[in-house]
Chains A and B, each alone.
Chain A
């Protein structure tokens, strides 16, 4: 049975991908996350829905540098995953984070630093194993800094550059590094966007795109696909136009 490790095991997007995997074939899923009660709720649900699969979980502070340094290696050895999906994140409120640097630090650490530390730890593991897939959830927000969301965006830009570096490192190997850049997606994280009436992608769409991208070993995938073209335009907007917008 294939083993898939999810870091950020209660993330709505990750769970959408998990449900695609489990509906396809019996799989061992390992959920890592911070909130034990929420993990148990999800584990229980998945066990009932997919009785031929194995659903495991472990809870600790997955965004703490000390804990990652201390435990990432042993967890990877213990479960020996074939596929790893790094999915934890926190959409920090931009305005509040500008005023409260502690919030900004949390946002940069959760979305950026802790994610790339996991990427490094997983890379070591995959390198010793010689094959496997590592997928990371980035964001379209990482493609260009914008006044409305640059703290979150910058942390995701770190992840994007890091993924690019790993792709270079593992070129010509059996190790695939995939970066998924979802547009704004329906999840508890984006509740306030949804409440304001913004059109959001369905987690199911993003979940399917993640699984497909990993299957095909694609380096960068926008989800839904239209975001590739939207961000192509946004990235190339001349500054004098960009600065007239409220993006």
Chain B
């Protein structure tokens, strides 16, 4: 339980770990060290090396988990960075407030949500997490603590939103919550038989549906899949929320459950069970938005070598064509997994210099780590993404090249000026030189 790893389970190096628990002492605990750099670490749900700092220090923020202030009339919440999104959601539910943006898992920290400027199924309406951060207090390794928002230290603020922890340690965040009608979702499950159809359903759904997301059967020739859309809804008479007792995968599978042999049957099975449930349904928001949170440690199903998640965003103009190319390559090579997700992003410009979301479409797909063949394959996908004018999500990345990063994140040089000299990560050394 105490091992430090990232979600992809690709690295076995033990970092030197400091557990932060007292805001009074944080500045002295992270004070600049010429021999070792540090890096904030929340719950390790980033997939690659953005939350790891091999050979150096990690500052675990799980103990900085106090709420500081909440105003029920305005919905403004002030809290420490180690507070989990699931705690906020559970606490706010009876008050009809909620976090405006949550990713596929709510088992992450507020600090991590800001550092990765995460997005969710409602991006087309509410944007990224960063759009709802009013301000934050940043502790730097020179001992200073700075308040950052859109007016004060605004450039540092923009560097910190989506800045993968490299600009300092967030010690306080001020968030704008959103009114919500209730803890349920009124949802609909639709089938699509091609990517063209996916896009047309997505376009038709965006104005009337708050949450939209799609699953693609990567083993199918025509790119069939299931489109989910939903709107928040109050509890109806006679309805009650189930008590959630998540299960956990107790051990790592000896080999990946997802491989060339199982890919097609598992996708077929999933598709078939979903098609049987087409149409309208109601679901607790938690299960609708975070289905995988019911199975803790699901990453262990990919076996001891871990896995990569390849998440790219593609501009809408070339999105259809590029998606076709990528998914075809995968199908021919029989690569991929059961978890392949498509989502259209809205037009809202991201706040952060290194934020991921751009107008267009995002594809997320898991690849079990099979060594050099999968690395070579992802390099081929990189070419398609670069050519399409897309980029990869740093929270998921473990292997893109520095050249690709520099080309696809044009604000990277500006970002470098706002970095904290006492902080680096596996990812920053791989992609930014230090």
Contacts and interface: CB of A to CB of B under 8 A. Distances in A.
Contacts of A45: 65-68
Interface stretch (B16-24, B231-239, B338-346): B16-24
A57 to B, nearest CB: 14
Interface in B154-184: none
Nearest to B83: A45
B22 A49 contact: no
Contacts of A38: 22, 24
Interface string A185-218: 0111001001101111010000000000000000
A42 interface: yes
B91 interface: yes
Contacts of B16: 195
B66 A44 contact: yes
Question: Which residue of B14, B21, B68 has the most chain A CB atoms within 10 A of its CB atom?
Answer: B21
Interface in B229-251: none
Interface in B16-52: 16-19, 21-24
Given A195-B16, A197-B14, A202-B1, A12 B67 contact: no
A44 B67 contact: yes
Contacts of B66: 41-42, 44-45
Interface residues of A, number: 20
Nearest to A186: B2
A48 interface: yes
B304 interface: no
A184 to B, nearest CB: 11
A202 B2 CA distance: 9
Interface residues of B, number: 20
Given A41-B66, A49-B67, A200-B2, A195 B24 contact: no
B24 A48 contact: no
A231 B300 CA distance: 32
Given A45-B66, A199-B1, A191 B18 contact: yes
Q: Which 6 A-B pairs have the closest CB atoms?
A: A45-B66, A48-B67, A188-B21, A191-B19, A45-B67, A195-B17
Given A45-B66, A45-B68, 20 more contacts: A12-B63, A41-B66, A41-B68, A42-B66, A45-B65, A48-B68, A48-B70, A49-B87, A49-B91, A187-B21, A188-B19, A188-B21, A191-B18, A194-B17, A194-B19, A195-B16, A199-B2, A200-B1, A200-B2, A202-B1
13 contacts: A12-B63, A38-B22, A38-B24, A44-B69, A45-B65, A45-B67, A48-B69, A48-B91, A191-B19, A194-B17, A195-B18, A199-B1, A202-B1
